[in-house]
């Protein structure tokens, strides 16, 4: 595991996790962000305002259709907002950025490329593929539990395995802002739990600012520094809940009274809208 950790931490020299202090300048800043579709007839996101600091891990929870994925796509520059302001590193988002990487619900792998070749795609797009890039890609696949499948094609992998390849590819980008849209939803509970722990460790080591969409309240709390709880459409931020647990965290935390009290609080906010 140490060798893999060393490989992963070599992706990027990110900001130290101590930069999560309230005084640190916001990496992402939203001011009354709104998104409508159908000529304004459908309001997907309404008046979302928040600041996210360097190195923070934010979980977004809410019912289907509440604008969680829409918000991620606006931050990524994949769609335009309809109103308000959304700045990344102080710049208004108007197009995709190289310092922001997004992992979708589906793995979207290239069928004619092996797992490691799919992971290496961001390096190829950047212009070069070095021996270090290849070692890093193989290390990430090992971390995702796919050491023996690095040279398998997507059609030879299960849906969950394909999603783990997509996670490795996301980390290969070197972006300092990671957007993950229900990335572990297709995985079995044991693998999901393992990857939650590893994801926390990895983003902590590289200093990545992470936004993570999930329908699983326990998963949201276990991973996050703060949980953004959203209302049904039109999606609004109902409450931002601080998660007080120290890091590193282990799965046994989810059995504690304090953890389950926080789960109940999030569920109560969701049930009140």
- pLDDT value for 22: 59
The mean pLDDT value for 101-129 works out to 91
- pLDDT value for 273: 64
Domain boundaries, the chain: 14-99+177-271, 103-174
Residue with the larger pLDDT of the pair 159 and 176: 176
Q: Looking up tokens 């109902």, which residue turns up?
A: 238
The mean pLDDT value for 43-59 works out to 95
Structure tokens of 209? 């600012």
Nearest to 123 by CA among 114, 134, 138, 112: 134
CA dihedral angle for residue 152, residue 132, residue 18, residue 216, rounded to 10 degrees:
-10
7, 128, 142, 169, 227 from 124: Cα distances, Å: 18, 5, 20, 12, 35
**Alpha-carbon gap, residue 208 to 56, rounded angstroms:** 8
- Output the DSSP codes for 130-189: -HHHHHHHHHHHHHTT-GGGTT--GGGS-HHHHHHHHHHHHHHT--SEEEEESTTTTS-H
The mean pLDDT value for 66-81 works out to 94
Are the CB atoms for 67 and 181 separated by under 8 Å?
no
Q: Looking up tokens 């001011």, which residue turns up?
A: 31
Residues in the chain: 273
What is the rounded end-to-end Cα distance, in angstroms, of the chain? 44
**Among the ranges given (75-84, 133-142, 198-207), the one the predictor scored with the smallest mean pLDDT:** 198-207
Structure tokens of 22? 């309230």
**What is the CATH code of the structural domain delimited by 14-99+177-271?**
3.40.50.300
CB within 8 A of 32, min separation 6: which ones? 47, 48, 49, 83, 84, 85
Mean pLDDT taken over the chain: 87
**Alpha-carbon gap, residue 201 to 247, rounded angstroms:** 9
């Amino acid at each position: 595991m140490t060798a893999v950790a060393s490989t992963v931490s070599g992706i990027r020299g990110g900001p130290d996790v101590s930069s999560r202090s309230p005084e640190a300048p916001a990496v992402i800043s939203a001011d009354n962000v709104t998104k409508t579709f159908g000529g304004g007839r459908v309001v997907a996101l309404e008046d979302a305002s928040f600041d996210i600091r360097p190195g923070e891990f934010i979980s977004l929870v809410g019912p289907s259709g509440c604008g969680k994925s829409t918000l991620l796509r606006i931050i990524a520059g994949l769609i335009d907002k309809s109103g308000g302001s959304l700045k990344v590193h102080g710049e208004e988002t108007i197009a995709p950025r190289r310092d922001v990487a997004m992992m979708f619900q589906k793995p979207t792998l290239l069928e004619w490329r092996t797992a490691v070749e799919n992971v290496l795609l961001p390096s190829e797009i950047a212009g070069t593929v070095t021996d270090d890039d290849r070692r890093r890609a193989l290390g990430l696949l090992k971390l995702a539990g796919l050491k023996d499948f690095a040279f398998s094609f997507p059609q030879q992998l299960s849906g969950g395995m394909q999603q783990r390849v997509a996670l490795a590819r996301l980390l290969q980008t070197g972006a300092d802002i990671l957007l993950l849209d229900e990335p572990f939803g297709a995985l079995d509970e044991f693998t999901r739990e393992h990857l939650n722990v590893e994801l926390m460790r990895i983003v902590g080591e590289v200093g990545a600012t992470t936004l993570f969409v999930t329908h699983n309240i326990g998963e949201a709390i276990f991973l996050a520094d703060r949980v953004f709880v959203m209302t049904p459409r039109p999606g609004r931020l109902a409450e931002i809940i601080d998660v007080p647990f120290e890091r590193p965290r282990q799965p046994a935390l989810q059995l504690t009274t304090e953890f389950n009290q926080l789960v109940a609080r999030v569920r109560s906010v969701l049930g009140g809208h």
